[in-house]
């Protein structure tokens, strides 16, 4: 029976075309700048997001890390969202490697930070006691708010605040193209206000490895040096960059346009789940109001909810039916749609969830 793996959009496997491109890729020593496939990918990424230059890195985490190394000096501070990947999920690289602190602000349920709070979070540069504010970062899409896309207007507003204080805005755009597609805006428009953007090839774009950082040429030079520092200078790495070039093609042959299918499938999944009384609001910033799951919260490829059962037993029983979802913070369950998940898989998943809820129904409760 086919496995329906909804744990993350990172579980995709490369297409046959990607594997052929990997085998045929023209390569060179990228530390010498000799790999034509890597160079082509970096140029394509920069062009697509309207920036001067790009840098191929091993992962989204490395992209954020080298961006911080390039933007910040030791003892500086980044203003960031408290549930963001940079703050929660990157092993405190900002502190360990970059030597900086984070001023973490609470997100709103739409994934944004309050601009007034961002403005107020800047330290007093004349006070020798305080850290020196050095960067603002936002996450787009914003994972913990159920993958909300952040608008061009919001990005522009945050960039204006950052720039007024003389610091750059970095966008952790691990799922930047999901935001582009959900908002229906050109990538250049969404990236435009930011000084630097990292996006992942290995998530919705279905590549096996890698992310790209884009920004001004001098920033990319410093990021390249930072990448070397963290051991990310690779050699004939065009074999890994080749799928990225395919993914970033315009139109139906690329992997960007089709993200709309993932969003539609996620919405279909949420619509079905919302009809089941044991599927509940995930709470917190993913959906602040209690009660049933609200499918309108699903704007991109994430569906997050709580289940009125033992979460571990629910996930195990789903696994026994060849459907995988994953535990998410605060007692939540997450399902993510991606390349390889079809509309039929959503119907199969909904049937599996309904069956599991029936099987695991408390003796006193009614059936699902």
Binding status of residue 143 toward ligand PLP by CB under 6 A? yes
- Candidate ranges 54-62, 108-116, 236-244, 317-325; the one touching ligand PLP (CB under 6 A): 54-62
Instruction: Give the full edge-to-edge strand order of the sheet including 302-307.
Output: 279-280, 302-307, 332-336, 326-328
Rule CB under 6 A: which of 172-191 touch ligand PLP? 172, 174
85 touches ligand PLP by CB under 6 A:
yes
- Provide the sign of the torsion angle of the four alpha carbons 174, 178, 183, 184, taken in this order: positive
- CA-closest candidate to residue 284, choices 270, 267, 304, 268: 304
Alpha-helical (H) ranges within 89-186 are 93, 115-121, 152-164, 176-183
Q: Does 60 bind ligand PLP (CB under 6 A)?
A: yes
Of positions 190, 200, 303, 304, contacts ligand PLP by CB under 6 A: 200
Instruction: Please pick, from the candidates 145, 178, 202, 281, the single residue that binds ligand PLP as defined by CB under 6 A.
Output: 202
Q: Which residue is nearest to ligand PLP (CB)?
A: 60
Report d(CA 356, CA 131) in Å as an integer.
52
Select 51 or 85, whichever has its Cβ closest to ligand PLP: 85
Instruction: Provide the minimum distance between the beta carbon of 59 and ligand PLP in the complex, in angstroms, as a whole number.
Output: 3
For residue 183 the two structure tokens come to 């908002």
Decide: is 139 part of the binding site for ligand PLP (CB under 6 A).
Answer: yes
Q: Is 93 in the site for ligand PLP (CB under 6 A)?
A: no
Q: Which residues of 113-124 are buried (b: 16+ CB within 10 A; e: fewer)?
A: beeeebeebbbe
Q: Report yes or no: 18 and 246 within 8 Å, Cβ to Cβ.
A: yes
Tell me how far apart the alpha carbons of residues 110 and 361 are, in angstroms, rounded to a whole number.
Answer: 33
Q: Is 55 in the site for ligand PLP (CB under 6 A)?
A: no
Q: Could you say whether residue 9 binds ligand PLP (CB under 6 A)?
A: no
Nearest distance, CB of residue 9 and ligand PLP, angstroms? 9
Six-digit token string for 320: 């026994």
Nearer to ligand PLP, 193 or 232 (CB): 232
Verify binding: residue 338, ligand PLP, rule CB under 6 A.
no
Please report whether residue 68 would count as binding ligand PLP according to CB under 6 A. Answer: no
- For tokens 């799951």, what's the residue? 293
Is residue 367 exposed (0-12), middle (13-18) or buried (19+ Cβ within 10 Å)? exposed
**CB 123 to ligand PLP: min, Å:** 25
Would you tell me which residues interact with ligand PLP (CB under 6 A)? Answer: 59-61, 85, 139, 143, 172, 174, 200, 202, 211
């Amino acid at each position: 029976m086919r496995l329906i793996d909804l744990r993350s959009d990172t579980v995709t496997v490369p297409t046959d075309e990607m594997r052929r491109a990997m085998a045929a890729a023209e390569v060179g020593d990228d530390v010498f700048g000799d790999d034509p496939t890597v160079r082509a990918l970096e140029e394509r990424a920069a062009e697509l997001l309207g920036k001067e230059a790009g840098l191929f890195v091993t992962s989204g985490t490395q992209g954020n890390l080298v961006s911080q190394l390039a933007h910040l000096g030791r003892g500086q501070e980044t203003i960031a969202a408290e549930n963001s990947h940079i703050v929660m999920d990157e092993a405190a690289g900002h502190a360990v490697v970059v030597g900086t602190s984070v001023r973490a602000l609470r997100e709103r349920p739409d994934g944004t930070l309050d601009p007034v709070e961002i403005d107020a979070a800047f330290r007093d540069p004349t006070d020798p006691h305080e850290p020196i504010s050095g960067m603002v970062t936002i996450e787009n899409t914003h994972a913990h708010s159920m993958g909300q896309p952040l608008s061009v207007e919001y990005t522009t507003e945050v960039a204006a605040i950052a720039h007024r204080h003389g610091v750059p805005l970095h966008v952790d755009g691990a799922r930047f193209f999901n935001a582009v597609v959900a908002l229906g805006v050109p990538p250049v428009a969404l990236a435009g206000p930011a000084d630097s953007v990292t996006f992942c090839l290995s998530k919705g774009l279905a590549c096996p490895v890698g992310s790209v950082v884009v920004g001004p040429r001098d920033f990319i030079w410093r990021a390249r040096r930072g990448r070397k520092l963290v051991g990310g200078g690779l050699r004939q790495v065009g074999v890994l960059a080749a799928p990225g070039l395919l993914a970033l093609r315009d139109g139906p042959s690329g992997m960007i346009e089709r993200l709309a299918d993932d969003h539609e499938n996620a919405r279909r999944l949420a619509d079905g789940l919302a009809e089941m009384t044991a599927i509940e609001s995930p709470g917190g910033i993913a959906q602040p109001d209690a009660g049933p799951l609200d499918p309108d919260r699903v704007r991109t490829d994430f569906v997050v909810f709580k289940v009125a059962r033992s979460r571990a037993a629910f996930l195990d029983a789903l696994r026994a039916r060849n459907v995988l979802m994953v535990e998410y913070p605060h007692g939540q369950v997450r399902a993510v749609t991606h390349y390889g998940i079809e509309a039929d898989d959503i119907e199969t998943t909904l049937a599996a969830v309904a069956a599991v809820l029936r099987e695991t129904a408390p003796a006193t409760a009614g059936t699902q």
